[in-house]
């Protein structure tokens, strides 16, 4: 999983939460452009994306990833302090797989990761079947 986040406190919290999960290896980036670079190089199963980032926003980064055939299949979960319903609606319209708000709710966070990982693995299995066909 790749987490794109400029706030060290949020990054540390997610590192702590994910440390309990032996099935997840966490990569991180501090801004959107670096996040895109790492996503292209590492092809993570799932991306967790802050919205308010230095340089390009999380929404812009999502669009760039979605336009790249190499990364378009990766579910991108927004994790943002922008928590009013209009923000969430806009985020989902932009194409985020799910939209989570800060502060992080541990149960919701873990469940969303599971859903996104299952989605990612189903996509990989489907791509593998198509390759064989």
Residue number, 50 or 120, with CB nearest to Mn ion: 50
Segment contacting Mn ion by CB under 5 A, of 23-31, 34-42, 45-53, 89-97: 45-53
**Please, what is the minimum distance in Å from the beta carbon of residue 64 to Mn ion?**
17
Report the residue number, 6 or 87, with the smaller CB distance to Mn ion: 6
48 has which bridge partners? 3, 77
Q: Is 73:127 a contact under the CB 8 Å cutoff?
A: yes
Q: Which of 16, 19, 23, 52 binds Mn ion (CB under 5 A)?
A: 52
Q: Is 123 in the site for Mn ion (CB under 5 A)?
A: no
CA distance 131 to 133: 6
Q: Reduced to 3 states, what is the DSSP secondary structure of residue 113?
A: helix
Binding segment for Mn ion (CB under 5 A), chosen from 48-56, 59-67, 92-100, 121-129, is 48-56
Name the nearest CA neighbour of 119 among 98, 104, 95.
98
Instruction: Give the number of C-alpha atoms closer than 13 A to the C-alpha of residue 16, restricted to the C-beta side.
Output: 8
Told to check if 87 binds Mn ion by CB under 5 A, we report no
Residue with tokens 């708000």: 101
CB closer to Mn ion out of 49 and 120 = 49
- Residue 98 DSSP SS3: strand
1-20 residues near Mn ion, rule: CB under 5 A: 6
Closest separation in Å from C-beta 36 to Mn ion = 16
């Amino acid at each position: 999983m790749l987490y794109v986040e400029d706030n060290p406190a949020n990054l540390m919290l997610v590192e702590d939460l994910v440390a309990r999960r032996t099935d997840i290896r966490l990569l991180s980036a501090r801004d959107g452009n670096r996040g895109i670079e790492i996503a292209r190089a590492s092809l993570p199963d799932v991306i967790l994306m802050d919205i308010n980032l230095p340089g390009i926003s999380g929404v812009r980064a999502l669009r760039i990833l979605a336009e790249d055939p190499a990364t378009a299949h990766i579910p991108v979960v927004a994790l943002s302090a922008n928590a009013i319903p209009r923000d969430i609606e806009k985020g989902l319209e932009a194409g985020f797989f799910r939209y989570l708000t800060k502060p992080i709710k541990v149960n919701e966070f873990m469940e969303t990761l599971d859903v996104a990982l299952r989605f990612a693995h189903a996509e990989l299995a489907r791509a593998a079947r198509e390759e064989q066909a």
